[in-house]
Chain A
Amino acid sequence: MTATARTLGSLPLRPAAPGRRRASSTPADLALLLIGACFLLPLLWLILASLDAEAGHELKLPDRAGLDNFAAVLTPELLLRPLWNSVLLSGGTATVTVVAAVLAAYPLSRYRSRFNRPFMYTVLFGTCLPITAIMVPVYGLFVQLELLDSMAATIFFMATTTLPMAIWMTRNFMEGVPVSLEEAAWVDGASRMTALRTIVLPLMKQGLGVVFIFVFIQAWGNFFVPFVLLLSEARQPAAVSIFSFFGQHGAVAYGQLAAFSILYSLPVLVLYVIVARGGSGSFALSGAVRG
């Protein structure tokens, strides 16, 4: 169980290296650098092409490097509106997920019941369903319920797909907050929900941040769900608009595509760094769970 909790809790994080290590070896360095170079090359194209007004598929240094591509895509309808849609979609998804996950995790972590284990395992099973497989049925369902092209419905659906993972992570963080603190509040007559709001949540702020960012990153990068469920251009997030952009201008404007990609990727890269750097305390917390 501990291993699950740890795997689930640690996904977005870089585990800290321990102090003890053997003498470093040069062959290991070289092997690692070789593999690293293979991983770097596709990314390198993205960066070089974004700076090159005449970029194609090939990897080359720009004849004259400049920010023309960035200037070309930085228009309201091309980049800013889709990015704003991404913010709404990801922010909404992360908010709904965190609220539902906190509410669900509280009784599951605080009360003993025969119901807890089967529920958590059912939720765990939910994390396993291939979401791409249910997109065709979800589309059908949305047609029947007339929810197609609705931002709110898409947010609730995306929140549901990340909810199982979020419930596990939130419960693990909540287990790290000692019950004794709440018991003092109960004695003073506070209700369970008041205790949750005023005592438990402030103490697991960092953990909540990790869950929020984790869900936000997933929603931000999600292409398939909005691609299927949001039809009108005015509502499409950057993930989808970049795809239509590629379809329409791709053959000529690879530099702009790369610039667009970089601007669209920056927020999640920053968020990831925040979690990986600042979240080590809560990471330890999530690792110290009992099943």
Chain B
Amino acid sequence: MRSPATARQLLRYLPVLPAVLLLLVFLAGPVLWAFHASLTDAGLTGRSARNPSWVGLENYQRLLADPVFPLSVLLTVVFVAGSAVLGQNLLGLTLAVLMRRARPLVSAVVGTTVVAAWVLPEIVAAFAAYAYFSGDGTLNQLLGGLGLVRQDWLYAFPMVAVMLANMWRGTAFSMLVYRAALNEVPAEVTEAAQMDGARGWQRFAFITLPMIRGSITTNLMLITLQTLAVFTLVWVMTAGGPANASTTLPVLAYQEAFKFGDIGYGTAVASVLILIGAAFGLGYVRLLREPRP
């Protein structure tokens, strides 16, 4: 069956091999290992670390019975919906629109500031956000200056703090995507609508938004996936606390595996997160495969 032509074809694709091997060993491998390990009692130390035994779906049953897990799922949904789908997305679009109307200097300076928060290493961004929201931090100084009530944000409203921090950190991405998208909307189209008497917001809602809807969907998918995976920001600012009040799924998986030494249970949490990511990933790939209208 294997003709010389097929052999040559295979040989031509030989250079792909290193990449395929890396992806199999370090990406596909851990994912498969996760599903396997989540069915065992693997531990961080001791006998169960060297010789984990099969426990079937026990970890998943524990997951469903554990009151922290549903809370963690809920917090993750709130975190992603609030700080990415609404926060980063709308703020990024607002910034992109404003930047087209503002003076070039202003838009360049503000653009650089927004991008700076995004380019900084995540741990540095997390420290800066921690200081900003802490008891005697900048936010409370501002509120105090305005005569408003100061709050201990990281304890009283940990989710609000990490969500605002994630908006600060990640809005640059949406802003860049929307600036590129708006630049591609032909001016003739909006000008024609203007001639027909469409007002500013009408032109935006009925002409511009439909024309960039491809970018909107792509952006929503990508920032959802990025925000789903946020760990460092939450870990440095609140470490999931107080009392699990900001334990998103990545933090929960980390805590179970490394703080409580239960790798099996931690990987069960991680497996759920991988499945959620994979579902979004499949949706994203399907979306891009569809031919554009």
Chain A residues packing against B (C-beta within 8 Å): 1, 3-4, 6-7, 10-11, 13-15, 17-18, 20-22, 24-25, 28-29, 31-33, 35-36, 38-46, 49, 56-59, 96, 99-101, 103-104, 106-108, 111, 113, 115, 119, 121, 123-141, 143, 156-157, 159-161, 163-164, 167, 192-193, 217, 220-224, 228, 239, 242-243, 246, 254, 257-258, 261, 264-265, 268-269, 272
Contact = CB atoms under 8 A, between A and B. Distances in A.
B124 interface: yes
Contacts of B34: 134, 136-137, 140
Interface of B: 9, 12-13, 15-20, 22-23, 25-27, 29-31, 33-34, 37, 42, 49, 91, 94-95, 98-104, 106-107, 109-111, 113-117, 119-124, 127-129, 131-132, 134-138, 141-142, 168, 171, 173, 176-177, 179-180, 183, 187, 214-215, 218-219, 222, 225, 228-232, 236, 249-250, 253-254, 257-258, 263, 266-267, 269-270, 273-274, 277-278, 280-282, 284-285, 288-289, 292
A28 B102 contact: yes
Contacts, number: 299
A180 B121 CA distance: 42
Contact of B127 (A4, A160, A257): A257
B267 A221 contact: no
Q: Helix, strand, loop or mixed for chain A's interface?
A: helix
Contact of A99 (B18, B104, B141, B292): B18
A134 B285 contact: no
B281 A129 contact: yes
A125 B26 contact: no
Nearest to A86: B121
B202 to A, nearest CB: 16
Contacts of A132: 229-231, 250, 253, 273
Contacts of A49: 131
B285 A43 contact: no
